[in-house]
Amino acid sequence: MAGWGNHRNNRGGTEDMLDRENQQLTDNLAGKVSRLKLLALDMELETKDQNRYMNGMDTDFDSATGLLSGSMKRVTHMVGAAGSNRRLMCYLILALVGGFVLIYYIVLSFRT
């Protein structure tokens, strides 16, 4: 009978050890789940910010498209109306090329 009681106490110790191990694993899992939840919330906030940014860019591109199409219409009209005035066209082309080269060097100098 003495062996039966000793075996019973040993079983209780094993159950306590398994219970502690399960509790530790449960706590670890809960920590990982909470980290994943925080990560998902951060991703949601970042996605919303990026969507707002993209909507703003869409508006900017629409306004730039309107501005450029109006400029292109004016240049096309000027080319059609000034068919005989080649000197003005050469000056305009040189000014545009020079402006682009100047902007290129300015951007290049700020980049380095």
The residue written with tokens 């019973």 in the block is 8
Which domain covers residue 94, as residue numbers? Answer: 84-112
Check whether residue 27 and residue 55 sit in a common domain: yes
Q: What is the tens place of the pLDDT at every residue in 36-59?
A: 999 999 999 999 999 998 888 888
Check whether residue 73 and residue 101 sit in a common domain: no
Check whether residue 6 and residue 25 sit in a common domain: yes
Output the 3-class SS for 44-106. HHHHHHHHHHHHHHHHHHHHHHHHHHHHHHHHHHHHHHCCCCHHHHHHHHHHHHHHHHHHHHH
Query: How many domains are there within the chain?
Result: 2
d(CA 32, CA 27): 9
Check whether residue 65 and residue 27 sit in a common domain: yes
pTM to 2 decimal places? 0.46
Q: What is the tens place of the pLDDT at every residue in 58-81?
A: 888 888 888 888 888 887 877 777
Check whether residue 76 and residue 50 sit in a common domain: yes
Check whether residue 10 and residue 52 sit in a common domain: yes
Check whether residue 60 and residue 92 sit in a common domain: no
